[in-house]
Structure 1
Amino acid sequence: MDALRLAPTVGIVASLAVLVALLAPFLAVEQGSAVGTYYGAGAVNGLSVGLFAAVALVAFAAGREGRSAPDTIAGVTIVLGLFAAVMGLLWAFTVPQSLVTQLTTATWLNSHRWLVVALTIVIPVAAGWYARAQRLL
């Protein structure tokens, strides 16, 4: 598989992974309102990262299938990925650890926000790879 198809495919998978990671606490914590508090406790709402990931997913798919200009999609997904990563970092650094430990006894939730950040970083990396495959960078 060449980079012109593989790079957006990696972006699609990364965007889906971000959305799944954001959904996981809703499935693990009994009280949905507590999860809402968790996502809303930072400087920005953690679910806003999902918005950028969802739009990036659609853009990557459009570029991969040739429905939009690949050079435009590469630029758009770089910007969306950077916004998702910055918003994720801002949220992750400002959520109080005491709130996380009060939500559930599941220890994986302690590192959940950092997993979300790591996954969001893959989006602009894949977009940069896509741009490089087109010789734009």
Structure 2
Amino acid sequence: MTDVLNDVLNDALLLTETNPVPFFAGNGKSLDYLKSNESLVPACQRIGDAGKYQKLLMDPDLSEYIIGRIVVNERDTVLPAVIEKTHLPREDAETLFRYVIHGSFAVNRAHNFVKDEKWPHDVQMLNEFAEAGYERLSRK
């Protein structure tokens, strides 16, 4: 049963796609660039066009499991990039990474995992907020 759920989640979250550039607040990329290069966007934001999985992703009983799958899939790519960008020790970078994943999931859940008219605004605002935080931490 878990294998089937994992296969469905991998497809829903596009976890089988390669993510060549670690995501950090869009890596300074414009929202238009991110829209046309979905692999640069975090897993829980890439799924906004996959309506067939909306009920699964909105299931409150599965939220922690889904977030855990995202964490496992994204950690090896994103965590080293967070460390490089912020110069934080690994333990602190892990805390920041989990915060970003959980927050991103919560915002996308608030949008019902649909890229509605407000979604691009929220993504841009959160990207700017996160980028400012990364810059501030790197100056410590």
TM interval, shorter chain, is 0.3 to 0.5
Largest Rg, 1 or 2: 1
* Higher RCO by CA contacts (8 Å cutoff, separation 6 or greater): 1
Normalised to the residue count of structure 1, the TM-score between the two structures is: 0.34
TM-score (norm: length of structure 2): 0.33
More helix as a share of residues: 1
